[in-house]
Amino acid sequence: MTTKPIVRRSLRAAVVSGVVATLAMAGLQSPAFAYGRMDISGGLGHATTNNVNDVLFGCDDKANGIGVYGRFIMQEGSLVDVPDPDGESGGCGVDDWRGTGYYAYKLQAVQRDGTASAWGYTY
């Protein structure tokens, strides 16, 4: 009786177990930063960030004469509002925090009549 098949099966099982364990650990680790976005229902507008949460956008997605702003809570606690006056054709309001060391960790989209998205996290 030869031991080659047993050794081969044992090595294959060890490799598969190692790959599964590595993938499981990778899934448990979250990135330090991630893109954030919150939408007001009905397509009225949204608040979003870039992938490291230091460029903030408030976007009015509907030309209804009301206007939208993105509301952001920065990691040190300050509140930042980024306005987009009105209409979907003019782009988004932008506030650039790159190079300052500050980033948003919570965001909300708010239409100026008070209609708003829920608060969301950027990670």
User: How do the pLDDT tens digits run along the chain, 123 residues long?
Assistant: 555 566 555 545 444 444 434 333 333 333 445 678 999 999 999 999 999 999 999 999 998 889 999 999 999 999 999 999 777 667 899 999 999 999 999 999 999 999 999 999 997
Contact status, residue 66 vs residue 86, Cβ threshold 8 Å: yes
| Cβ neighbour number for residue 36 with a 10 Å cutoff | 23
Asked whether the beta carbons of 68 and 59 are under 8 A apart, the reply is yes
pLDDT given at position 5: 61
pLDDT for position 90: 74
Q: Quick one: tokens of 13?
A: 């099982």
User: What pLDDT, on a 0 to 100 scale, did the predictor assign at position 80?
Assistant: 98
Q: What is the pLDDT of residue 87?
A: 72
Q: What does the pLDDT read at residue 117?
A: 97
Q: Output the pLDDT for position 8.
A: 56
User: How does DSSP assign 59-112, residue by residue?
Assistant: EE-S-SSS-EEEEEEETTS-EEEEEE-S-GGG--EEEE-TTTT--EEEEEEEET
Q: 91 — alpha (psi -120 to 50), left (phi > 0) or beta? A: left
pLDDT for the residue numbered 27: 37
Total residue count of the chain as it appears in this document: 123
